[in-house]
Structure 1
């Protein structure tokens, strides 16, 4: 033992060695600071720390960003729907709110706020989720970027990919199919984001004042579309369906859109073409919509000439330039840009989408918009018929049969009246008998005015 102690270096020797090493380290540091640029030093230190962290840490992190290759990330959407069901004792914060103005005592809904940690257990794995956000560096159109971080053990990485993410996707699809409320989105041009509002329109196919065979045709067409994913893939077509609702104002075009949304349980994206600065901006706007949704462009013939018949526009004004532009300050959307998303290469960026256009003047639309593949189904929304009146009477008055119906039927045959006008007359009082007599008087006045003209 004594011989071993004698072989150890003395404290003086150790101090001398430490001093030499420190001097050498300071010399090397001085040389690096003088010869190596600061940016390269930071890069080397960052890589060294990353390497050390990866070697020493037993954790693995998945990053799920909101957008993936220019479109919305469906995995992000699935996680967003799934995580509120996993709120538990380890959750450190919650975002709560209510969208029930008629039921203030209803419990608030729960959402996941930024930087909130959610802990999930799946097949013996402990999985920690965090929602983060950042703002990109685009100085012209800065956009908020949201993403989820999932931390797990390195040894669980493969099981997370093969079992956990498919479980999330399946659960999220069931949740979205069972959702109690729908959203209607409008595009905020300044923030470059879709802003949601709770959509609770009461219209259904049962309440629509339409011919029964037309309603059944639309429902059958929607059912066929939803169930034929394999067919669309087999024939090489994008899984989407285009509808055109046309007719005079007040004939129920917007109510039909609401009925379709309630029937399919699809959210609505209400787009005003004037909000798009260019074709590129339009692509970003449209690819920001989710799958299993309705893209609605109302009154496409109004406010912009992007959809107008180019031949007629040229006949009306041979000197007009760029007639399919939205404004003089922005490049605007072109007809070709809109068509490319409807039926071009960009139409494949998304699945299970309903695209609905409404117009009061179908004859003003460019023929290129009307062909199958862009607007597959054309539905004419006409004036009120006797059948439609009976439906309105049952809905508003609770009356399916009445002796005055025959008189009303005869008057409606010779008068053009929209369902909205009829509904307005049926809402005057709570007395059905008085309402029907007042309505007959109203129809007779309309007939007399027509005859006088």
Structure 2
């Protein structure tokens, strides 16, 4: 034994040999890095890792990407909801944050950061999750996110057949019991939806709307939600389109919030100005989730969509552009009417279930007739001026009273004065602590508005009369048939 120990090299000899080998390895690595291009290095590393994994490793890895072909990966969504519930002592790091601006003191939400390991147990099997994020080199292309699930090769089939369905069911249960809704807006620079907590107080019970109309909307929503089999049997996508039209301040946004709260659906608020083209629109809309509301407000503000195709043709004829082949069919960049129609009622409309699409506009007459037909905008709801019934609902909500001696005069004024529910609510809020003073203030406001409308009518009549007289005195000028002097009050 003693002779054997004497034959062993000394510690200094071992260290010297290790230093020589390390220096040689570093030299070889430096030479290879200088001589072999980066893509070739990555290829060699990948092949070497695969070789080691194939013959030496007993593990198997499932990879779940954020997008699956042309649409969002529902398995990825389920994992994203499920994993924060499996955070345990072995988790080495976490993302914490809150987007609830209404309750800054609420506990922060948990999210999984990049390269964080989550250990889960299922039927006696140990499973390891990791989130990998590859940053995009181009600002308009989102980062690529993938979840990696590592397990033993021998349990691969059990994980695939039982564990993933377990994740999907658990995620569905979590989403169905969610207490908070989110509202999403599309970030064009980062090419993704970003959310905030949606806490809007509007309910059908508080809307200043005719009871029959409210009941019709709720019945229609209930019918839509409960008719999944019907839509499948008749071969139609499970979606519903609503058009809310009327003057500003008539409660269109409040109705959208009431629908979201009634159905417990998240809201995706899309501004067409943030969409580059039709292809971008398809990618954006296929990234929305099922059981959600897609809101497109003030659709008439998009010239390409609000003008019908006949008007566009006439405009081009006036500009002398007919026959030109060097000009594309789209008048301006961005989303085209054809692109929007193809999504809401074309083949792409089947990429998702239980979705409600709501359009709002102040000017229904500006919309292309192709947008208005059933299948695209199934239900047209006119949001008009305040009615006596609407006023009484607002008085109950804001003042806490259901009747008063001043209700009669206010009803009479509301019947002849065009006033929006928003205007009435604002007047009642000024002195909501004194109902009598608030009602008197509303009467004063309505009388002032009535007098102003009368003055405007008189002024318009005088201007029209002066214009007619001017045309009559000018013998060389042809009469302008568009100025007839008639006053049309809506």
Deviation at 1:66, TM superposition (A): 0.9
Deviation at 1:46, TM superposition (A): 4.4
Q: Which moved more, 1:415-424 or 1:51-60?
A: 51-60
Q: 3-state SS of the aligned residue for 1:305? A: helix
**Corresponding position of 2:263:** 264
Kept in 2, the 8 Å contact 1:324–1:334? The answer is: no
Q: Distance in 2 between matches of 1:67 and 1:354?
A: 22
Q: Which moved more, 1:362-371 or 1:401-410?
A: 401-410
**Corresponding position of 2:151:** 152
Structure 1: which 5+ runs fail to align?
Answer: 1-32
2:368 counterpart of 1:363: no
2:432 counterpart of 1:433: no
**Corresponding position of 1:19:** none
Deviation at 1:316, TM superposition (A): 5.6
Kept in 1, the 8 Å contact 2:139–2:189? The answer is: no
Kept in 1, the 8 Å contact 2:296–2:360? The answer is: yes
Deviation at 1:303, TM superposition (A): 3.8
Kept in 2, the 8 Å contact 1:66–1:146? The answer is: yes
Kept in 2, the 8 Å contact 1:304–1:324? The answer is: no
Deviation at 1:448, TM superposition (A): 2.7
Kept in 2, the 8 Å contact 1:60–1:154? The answer is: yes
Distance 1:117 1:228, change over 3 A: same
Q: Distance in 1 between matches of 2:96 and 2:46?
A: 39
Distance 1:152 1:444, change over 3 A: same
Distance 1:40 1:211, change over 3 A: closer
Q: Distance in 2 between matches of 1:265 and 1:225?
A: 14
Distance 1:93 1:45, change over 3 A: closer
Q: 3-state SS of the aligned residue for 1:416? A: coil
**Corresponding position of 2:452:** 449
Q: 3-state SS of the aligned residue for 1:451? A: helix
Q: CA RMSD in A?
A: 2.3
Q: 3-state SS of the aligned residue for 2:283? A: helix
Written as runs of structure 1 = structure 2, the 5 A alignment for 1:296-335 is: 296-315=295-314, 318-319=317-318, 325=330, 327=332, 331-335=333-337
Deviation at 1:180, TM superposition (A): 2.1
Q: 3-state SS of the aligned residue for 1:257? A: helix
Deviation at 1:374, TM superposition (A): 0.7
2:96 counterpart of 1:89: no
**Corresponding position of 2:63:** 63
Deviation at 1:135, TM superposition (A): 2.9
Distance 1:52 1:200, change over 3 A: same
Q: Distance in 2 between matches of 1:44 and 1:357?
A: 53
Q: Distance in 1 between matches of 2:427 and 2:114?
A: 50
Structure 2: which 5+ runs fail to align?
Answer: 1-31, 322-326, 458-490
Deviation at 1:433, TM superposition (A): 0.9
Q: 3-state SS of the aligned residue for 2:402? A: coil
Distance 1:390 1:155, change over 3 A: same
Q: Distance in 2 between matches of 1:140 and 1:447?
A: 55
Q: Distance in 2 between matches of 1:344 and 1:101?
A: 38
Q: Distance in 2 between matches of 1:421 and 1:224?
A: 33
Aligned length: 414
Q: Distance in 1 between matches of 2:164 and 2:205?
A: 39
* TM-score between the two structures when normalised by the length of structure 1: 0.86
Candidates 340, 343, 357, aligned match of 1:341: 343
Deviation at 1:150, TM superposition (A): 0.9
**Corresponding position of 1:408:** 410
Deviation at 1:311, TM superposition (A): 2.1
* TM-score between the two structures when normalised by the length of structure 2: 0.79
